[in-house]
Structure 1
């Protein structure tokens, strides 16, 4: 293997741990990195390497994948380790892998365009939560374009826009990026409308995706509450499956909104901006207290649900989506063409209530919808009432009658 002049691994190791200390990462996290450094040092020694390069990191990962029987999650963690090491080696410093939009550094050109786009969205009546979401998605898109070598919007090409879009894993963000690109062309930031290169997410299913009570139980039962992650994840699942809370409201739930004394959760809904009050069911109460008292990291953060590793920031909706998907897989619940993610609990709760004869108005209030017609979406799966609408099949005639009575064959 050809070597190039690069810092020795011990130098990179010292730099990386200094950055971990500066960003207040836990001792457990640093211990994990020390273990990975031992494996990397062994690999380099066996191959006669003293200097580290990105190519050495790539070879290490390929060798580990080929010679070790490891899980996908372990390989993902190893990739994260090598990415951090490469960031230091390439002179980028320490790049947080979980960052918010306001932590991304953009050039003046990109910042101005993004700010003007958000202002136009505000003028159209977008609420603050939507504006925050669009800011994050557009900022991340601009960040990706900059990383690809585009220094100003005037240099943007269809190829660069395509490459940036393909790095965006959240398909819901594509719609926002498409609108942003149209805005850039309308305002003269770009010489062409590149919105046509943005992939289109699959059309949403008309009928709500519903999971049975047994499937919901399997998802919940897959959680191992002996771990900190399990204690937290069970709370998240129960808030979604028992109280039909949206993932955005779950991650923003704060201590001030949970009233254990009166048995209520009172919070302002992120989507509608309306106050919602829900009862704390016994299983929800027990799960919350178990996580808060026995699992939650020691933090001054007011939001209840935090990341497992330092820095202990509040969770994102993407993390909630991952929790649900992992638990579905562990519980052996297959989507089989249905949607999968936190929203399945809301649709399943709503459909269950409708089938049990609960009025649409009551269901609407529990789900926190403003539009009284929205809940009628679940009428499509109102089995009992749909049975009353069933029509009697007409008597067979002609060839069909002869076929059924054995006087004709296919």
Structure 2
């Protein structure tokens, strides 16, 4: 069994939960369930995760009969969230193959479409998602009297959308499909425009002021080995906005101290990124490497502490452990974080917020954070509080009947 595959899977899921705003206790509970899933996979010889394995795990837990119904339902929720996390295509896991077939009249175009997605270098799980969606769409067309792509029109597509069980998936997939159909001349018009955009509320990320960030960094005792390591980790997150997964997998080959650059492929997106190695970070890294890390032959820079090594823990520091390092020093700093998240991701978001507040161009911020989507940065303006404050309007003085109403005292609480 490739333990590193499953460990990376669990660590990535932990990061996903942290970014979604889950509390430390809930994240720990979810991680524990995935550890049970990994034991189940190991016992049954499974080398990679699929949704089918998740279902088999749940059935095995149900048969054990030691869980109350509420506990079993919580485990089902964990596996559902785990599948949701993997839906983003971060890992090479496979959608369950749909048992039904595509109607014959639509099948040739479907295969042509899937080939185009492969040529575009989409991940296999993403291609499988489009395959499942397109088959469902074609079957809906066939059931409602649409016998070929030639007879698809706006009415047929609108009806399919109304009948869709997952309108969010419909809206996400239909534009790519019809873009292909129009380009290839299979349909004349791009009817995907009639499908409404599905908007989702996004939680505004937690951010911290520069003074609070300095307090967090200042809470680290750099006189010992663990402190030297933790300080370098926090600097990478706070000054460069690196994700915990990228810090975890940072190798010596990724850092050029002479040219003062860090180059790596992002774990989440697979996109290459290059960052400037600031003198402050270079000094902290060299202090850890030369005076605290030891002479391990591991290619990864950040390792677990020596006590953990003696217990047989894998030497590379996991992304989940890096999140816990950040949370530890948030607490030790003494700052009041209230309902704000306190994790490595909050340091990344704080960097973005600070850069936007300093009028750094969005394109530059996007590049630093490693986003490819040009719109990925625009939501950061939502938590640029100081800039928004300058746009506030003065409240006008009450007048007329409203002023009389206030003066009467009836408006008082």
Which of the five TM-score ranges fits, normalised by the shorter chain? 0.5 to 0.7
* Alignment match of 2:399 (pick from 397, 400, 410): 397
Say whether residues 1:265 and 2:262 are aligned partners: yes
Residues 311-344 of structure 1 deviation map (CA, whole Å, 9 limit, x = unaligned): 4521111101111111111111232111221111
Match of 1:227 in 2: 224
**375 and 391 in structure 1: CA distance in 2 versus 1, 3 angstrom threshold:** same
Structure 2 CA distance for aligned equivalents of residues 171 and 220 of structure 1: 37
Say whether residues 1:289 and 2:274 are aligned partners: no
Match of 2:192 in 1: none
Match of 2:73 in 1: 162
Show structure 2 runs of 5+ residues with no match: 1-34, 89-94, 101-199
Query: Equivalent residue of 1:217, what SS?
Result: helix
Q: CA deviation at 1:307?
A: 0.8
**329 and 159 in structure 1: CA distance in 2 versus 1, 3 angstrom threshold:** closer
**382 and 143 in structure 1: CA distance in 2 versus 1, 3 angstrom threshold:** same
Query: Equivalent residue of 2:392, what SS?
Result: coil
**306 and 187 in structure 1: CA distance in 2 versus 1, 3 angstrom threshold:** farther
Match of 1:305 in 2: 302
Work out whether residues 245 and 267 of structure 2, in 8 Å CA contact, stay in contact via their aligned partners in 1.
yes
Say whether residues 1:105 and 2:42 are aligned partners: yes
Match of 2:253 in 1: 256
Structure 2 CA distance for aligned equivalents of residues 399 and 165 of structure 1: 58
Query: Equivalent residue of 1:266, what SS?
Result: strand
**Highest relative contact order (Cα 8 Å, sep 6+), 1 or 2?**
2
Q: CA deviation at 1:279?
A: 1.1
Match of 2:132 in 1: none
Structure 2 CA distance for aligned equivalents of residues 217 and 326 of structure 1: 15
Residues 181-222 of structure 1 deviation map (CA, whole Å, 9 limit, x = unaligned): xx789779xxxxxxxxxxxxxx98621211111111111111
* Alignment match of 2:379 (pick from 373, 377, 380): 377
**165 and 320 in structure 1: CA distance in 2 versus 1, 3 angstrom threshold:** farther
Correspondence 1:122-141 to 2 at 5 A: none
Correspondence 1:6-405 to 2 at 5 A: 101=38, 105-107=42-44, 111=46, 115-117=49-51, 150=64, 161-162=72-73, 164=75, 173=82, 175-176=84-85, 206-308=203-305, 309-310=308-309, 311=312, 312-383=314-385, 385-387=387-389, 389-402=391-404
Structure 1 CA distance for aligned equivalents of residues 369 and 362 of structure 2: 10
Q: CA deviation at 1:382?
A: 2.9
Query: Equivalent residue of 1:245, what SS?
Result: coil
Query: Equivalent residue of 2:377, what SS?
Result: helix
**161 and 408 in structure 1: CA distance in 2 versus 1, 3 angstrom threshold:** closer
Q: CA deviation at 1:244?
A: 0.5
Q: CA deviation at 1:374?
A: 1.1
Residues 266-311 of structure 1 deviation map (CA, whole Å, 9 limit, x = unaligned): 1111122121111111211111011101111321110000111214
Structure 1 CA distance for aligned equivalents of residues 36 and 51 of structure 2: 21
Work out whether residues 50 and 96 of structure 2, in 8 Å CA contact, stay in contact via their aligned partners in 1.
no
Work out whether residues 300 and 316 of structure 2, in 8 Å CA contact, stay in contact via their aligned partners in 1.
yes
Q: CA deviation at 1:369?
A: 0.6
Q: CA deviation at 1:100?
A: 11
Structure 1 CA distance for aligned equivalents of residues 49 and 87 of structure 2: 16
| TM-score, structure 2 as length reference | 0.55
Structure 1 CA distance for aligned equivalents of residues 220 and 62 of structure 2: 40
| TM-score, structure 1 as length reference | 0.56
Structure 2 CA distance for aligned equivalents of residues 100 and 224 of structure 1: 37
Structure 2 CA distance for aligned equivalents of residues 271 and 328 of structure 1: 24
Q: CA deviation at 1:383?
A: 3.8
Work out whether residues 240 and 246 of structure 1, in 8 Å CA contact, stay in contact via their aligned partners in 2.
yes
Query: Equivalent residue of 1:206, what SS?
Result: coil
Work out whether residues 231 and 295 of structure 1, in 8 Å CA contact, stay in contact via their aligned partners in 2.
yes
**289 and 373 in structure 1: CA distance in 2 versus 1, 3 angstrom threshold:** same
